Structure 1
């Protein structure tokens, strides 16, 4: 009897976890063309924005706009101190239950400095995936929440 209850309980936990992922429209692992990192947390949204902004500053990013009352902040195009990559602009904004991180990277080697979305696409060393990994790293360094991935519609 206790084995059946244990199996039933584990099944319900798995079902509830899957239902939550579906309800949020988010995946546990990055998937092809994912362009957003979702950080679910119980902390106050303004506190999350402040902590993430401080973390990014410590890593060499400069803040372009910081507007907690509007629910977002934006960095200037930057490369993480000591890192390799392309200048990346990170946007962190409130969403229900946490924050969403999106980004755009610059290609200064092209005329006009075109911008492209950071997304989980291409080889690990590709500009899009390299920039997406910076978003993921930022969310994982937060440490106080659940990280998920999504295709964010602007």
Structure 2
């Protein structure tokens, strides 16, 4: 119980500023409509958790663009996905008390309309840009050894 309280407090206070977010919905055990972040609960330290995640992402073909030890954040280079309008996905992670918070951002180049950027979130059909990219972030989160996943809605 105390770990959950600390994790939630960390969501509200510690991690929000790193990506311009300031509040969250209580963590849920299953994805819910609109969820846009995944918490990976782990007892590992911030640095160890980010290094582990970075290694897992590299094994899956991602390139780490930035791993900031001071601010405990990780950002990948864009990686092409093979569905819908062939978006590229950027995965972001920030260490929060009790684990990591992972989000995704996709970009689609619509030749006639230009580039469109959207946040990975649990809405729409499975292979939509929103839910499809959310599911990829979720797959990467599930790779974390011994991690427990929780789902949240960030502003």
**TM-score, normalisation: structure 1:** 0.79
**Which of 142, 145, 149 is 1:143 aligned to?**
145
Task: Compare the two structures and name the one with the higher strand fraction.
Answer: 2
5+ residue gaps, structure 1, are: 1-15
Q: 1:79 offset after TM fit, Å?
A: 2.9
**TM-score, normalisation: structure 2:** 0.78
Higher CA-based Rg: 1
Residue in structure 2 matched with residue 118 of structure 1 by the alignment = 120
Residue in structure 1 matched with residue 134 of structure 2 by the alignment = 132
Q: 1:143 offset after TM fit, Å?
A: 2.4
Distance in 1 between residues matched to 2:145 and 2:126, nearest whole Å: 23
- How many residue pairs get matched? 134
5+ residue gaps, structure 2, are: 9-25
Q: 1:109 offset after TM fit, Å?
A: 2.3
Moved over 4 A (4+): none
Residue in structure 2 matched with residue 92 of structure 1 by the alignment = 93
Task: Compare the two structures and name the one with the higher helix fraction.
Answer: 1
What is the root-mean-square deviation of aligned Cα atoms in Å? 2.2
Q: 1:60 offset after TM fit, Å?
A: 1.3
Distance in 1 between residues matched to 2:87 and 2:100, nearest whole Å: 24
Distance in 2 between residues matched to 1:49 and 1:79, nearest whole Å: 22
Q: Decide whether the 8 Å contact of 1:118 with 1:131 is kept in 2.
A: yes
Distance in 1 between residues matched to 2:95 and 2:40, nearest whole Å: 10
